[in-house]
Amino acid sequence: MNLKILLPFKIFAERTGVVRVVAETRAGSFGLLPHRLDCVAALAPGILVYETEAGGEVCMAVDEGVLVKTGADVLVSVRNAIGGTDLGKLRAAVEQEFLNLDEQEKSVRSVLAKLESGFIHRFAAFHHE
């Protein structure tokens, strides 16, 4: 298989000769082999594992995103990724970097919703005057 990991601003990794891919979704982990049917999956922050014929098994931390398998091509599009070899450090990076970011985003979205609501109420009051 051909694996390409895309970030919003660059190609993080591009590998050929991939014999298997294991990714995490909200429903759990799943694996891809070369002859599996085409599929699309929403990825959760976690560890992505792939194995190449020449290089062996590689682990990396990925943020939430989308995995698309079409034929021999596997495209993984995520917001952020961290490469490394120590699985414990990668798991800690997922917990610190990606999951905390989600909490910050929820907080920011809540504040923005309150600002928008206040703006709409003031605009409606101004319109009625």
pLDDT tens-digit map of 36-50: 899 999 998 888 999
List the domains of the chain with CATH numbers.
2-128 (2.60.15.10)
**Angle subtended at Cα 48 by Cα 33 and Cα 58, rounded to the nearest 5 degrees:** 85
- State residue 50's pLDDT score: 94
Query: What is residue 117's predicted lDDT score, i.e. its pLDDT?
Result: 83
Which residues have a Cβ under 8 Å from the Cβ of 58 and sit 6 or more positions away?
Answer: 49, 50, 51, 52, 83
Give the contacts of 97 (CB within 8 A, at least 6 positions apart). 61, 63, 80, 82
Tokens of 85: 């070899």
- Pairing label, strands 28-32, 18-25: antiparallel
Q: What confidence score (pLDDT) does residue 3 get?
A: 96
* Mean pLDDT of the region 19-45: 92
pLDDT: which is higher, 98 or 20 = 20
What's the number of CA atoms in the CB half-sphere (13 Å) around residue 53?
6
Q: Taking residues 114-126, what's their average pLDDT?
A: 79
**pLDDT at residue number 115:** 82
What one-character-per-residue DSSP string does 12-44 give? EEEESSEEEEEEEETTEEEEE-TTSPPEEEEEP
The pLDDT assigned to 39 comes to: 92
pLDDT in tens, 51-100: 998 888 888 888 889 999 999 999 999 988 888 767 777 777 767 766 66
Residue 22 has pLDDT above 90, yes or no: yes
Averaged confidence pLDDT in the chain? 85
Q: Which two tokens stand for residue 12?
A: 């993080």
